[in-house]
Amino acid sequence: MNPFEYVNPRTVNSAVAEVANKGCFFAGGIDVLGEMKEYIAQPRRLVNVKELPGLGDITRGKDQWTVGANVAVAELENDAEVKNVFPGLQQAAAEVGSLQIRNVATVGGNLAQHSRCWYYRHRDIRCLKRGGSTCYARDGENKYHSLFSGNPCISPVVSNLAIALAALDAKVIVRRGREDVPLTIPEFYAKAWDNPEAHHSLASTDLILRVEIPNSSRKSAYLQMSEKASFDWALVSCAAAAKVDGHKLSQVRVVLGAISPVPHQVPAAHELLDGKELDDELASRAADAILKDAEPFAHNGYKVPIAHALVRRTLKQLLV
């Protein structure tokens, strides 16, 4: 690890100013410290944002909830009201790493974390995402990689919370320069679809302030499949949200994770489900629509049937 400065700003504006000269924001620090130890990232300055006022609060409104960027993932997991109002978000939080990690990992850090691709994380490999010329996963070990991509890099998004928040139509509020800019979850990750070097749409000086979640009385659910029962990344994850009247769904969102550089959703599937009574056949047709353009590689074709099953099961969870 190279030498670096460490600063503790007291305001959001000063934090943004401090990070401008090859700095990096630091909250839970799990991702950035790992990259620094492997010489993947070499910031000159770590800007500690953990103590910035207001970023560690959850505000519960009638029409909208606000979750600060510094709220610990464990707080979402253990909050009884979150579980009641946004069960899919609570379920996604509960699947993040281990309890020790969830106690220090933050909402903002989970959204902004970088690729877990082993070629990207290898200190001696300069892959496409690190400015090289080759995505080694395409013709190499691609067991955990994407089924969809808009660029040559096939590293998938790994944030659990992003998948649940996308289904809930949440917005991420980002301090960009002197302005607070709202980004939908698709906008937050859009750059990663087109740009192989991008993990999300944030510039190095963009600071996540909070997440705004509409309180629209929709039910939600989240499921994932992993190789291990706990403390493991998702092979595939799925979140769904909808208003439920008996077995009839409306305002439906279904989002898949770990299969694309962005949270994957297909508007045609939402239209197929909207206003209809959910049964096994309809759930299966929706899964077909979501996955019809999947392009598996040599080692990740198993993700297709897993994703299909998760879509069906997560939709059925909305009826429980």
Domain-located, residue 128? no
pLDDT number for residue 56: 97
Domain-located, residue 297? yes
pLDDT digits (tens, 9 = 90+) for 51-89: 999 999 999 999 999 999 999 999 999 999 999 999 999
Those residues whose C-beta lies under 8 Å from the C-beta of residue 214, and which sit 6 or more positions away, are 63, 64, 168, 169, 170
In angstroms, the CA 35 to CA 251 distance is 40
Among 76, 101, 97, CA closest to 230: 97
Q: Which amino acid does the sequence have at 97?
A: G
What percentage of residues in the chain have a pLDDT greater than 70? 100
Looking at the fold, whether 104 and 183 belong to one and the same domain comes out as: yes
Flag whether pLDDT at 142 surpasses 90.
yes
Flag whether pLDDT at 94 surpasses 90.
yes
Looking at the fold, whether 313 and 176 belong to one and the same domain comes out as: no
Q: Give the model's confidence band at 1: pLDDT under 50 very low, under 70 low, under 90 confident, else very high.
A: confident
Domain of 101, CATH number, reads 3.30.465.10
Domain-located, residue 148? no
In angstroms, the CA 8 to CA 241 distance is 39
Looking at the fold, whether 33 and 158 belong to one and the same domain comes out as: no
Q: Give the model's confidence band at 275: pLDDT under 50 very low, under 70 low, under 90 confident, else very high.
A: very high
Looking at the fold, whether 227 and 195 belong to one and the same domain comes out as: no
Q: Where in the sequence is the domain holding 243, given as residue range(s)?
A: 219-317
Domain-located, residue 118? no
What percentage of residues in the chain have a pLDDT greater than 90? 98
pLDDT number for residue 148: 98
Per-residue pLDDT, averaged over 8-34, amounts to 95
In angstroms, the CA 9 to CA 287 distance is 47
Domain-located, residue 29? yes
Looking at the fold, whether 109 and 171 belong to one and the same domain comes out as: yes
pLDDT number for residue 229: 87
Flag whether pLDDT at 21 surpasses 90.
no
Flag whether pLDDT at 23 surpasses 90.
yes
CB 12 within 8 A of CB 209: yes
pLDDT digits (tens, 9 = 90+) for 289-305: 999 999 999 999 999 99
Flag whether pLDDT at 230 surpasses 90.
no
Domain boundary among 19, 35, 52: 52
Domain boundary among 195, 214, 233: 214
C-alpha separations of 73 from 172, 233, 248 in Å: 16, 15, 32
* Block residue for tokens 């790493």: 97
With H, G, I as helix, E, B as strand and everything else as coil, classify residue 26: strand
Per-residue pLDDT, averaged over 40-53, amounts to 95
Per-residue pLDDT, averaged over 128-132, amounts to 97
As for how many domains the chain has, the answer is 3
Domain of 263, CATH number, reads 3.30.390.50
Looking at the fold, whether 17 and 48 belong to one and the same domain comes out as: yes
Q: Which amino acid does the sequence have at 62?
A: K
Distance of CA 269 to the CA centre of its chain: 21
Looking at the fold, whether 16 and 64 belong to one and the same domain comes out as: no
Looking at the fold, whether 107 and 233 belong to one and the same domain comes out as: no
Strand 5-7 and strand 207-214: the pairing is: unpaired
Domain boundary among 168, 183, 214: 214
In angstroms, the CA 79 to CA 139 distance is 44
Q: Which amino acid does the sequence have at 267?
A: P
* Block residue for tokens 């309890």: 99
Domain-located, residue 133? no
Per-residue pLDDT, averaged over 231-237, amounts to 96
Looking at the fold, whether 207 and 178 belong to one and the same domain comes out as: yes
Neighbours of 43 (CB within 10 A): 20
CB 73 within 8 A of CB 91: no
Flag whether pLDDT at 2 surpasses 90.
no
**Phi, psi (5° rounding) for residue 47?**
-105, 105
Domain-located, residue 130? no
* Block residue for tokens 């946004």: 86
Q: Which amino acid does the sequence have at 102?
A: R
Looking at the fold, whether 228 and 250 belong to one and the same domain comes out as: yes
Looking at the fold, whether 197 and 164 belong to one and the same domain comes out as: yes
C-alpha separations of 272 from 62, 130, 262, 269 in Å: 30, 39, 22, 5
In angstroms, the CA 38 to CA 19 distance is 21
pLDDT digits (tens, 9 = 90+) for 159-186: 999 999 999 999 999 999 999 999 999 9
Domain of 38, CATH number, reads 3.30.43.10
C-alpha separations of 48 from 16, 36, 44, 67, 206 in Å: 11, 15, 13, 19, 14
Flag whether pLDDT at 146 surpasses 90.
yes
**Phi, psi (5° rounding) for residue 153?**
-75, 135
Q: Which amino acid does the sequence have at 158?
A: V
Looking at the fold, whether 241 and 282 belong to one and the same domain comes out as: yes
Mean per-residue pLDDT of the chain: 97
Domain-located, residue 232? yes
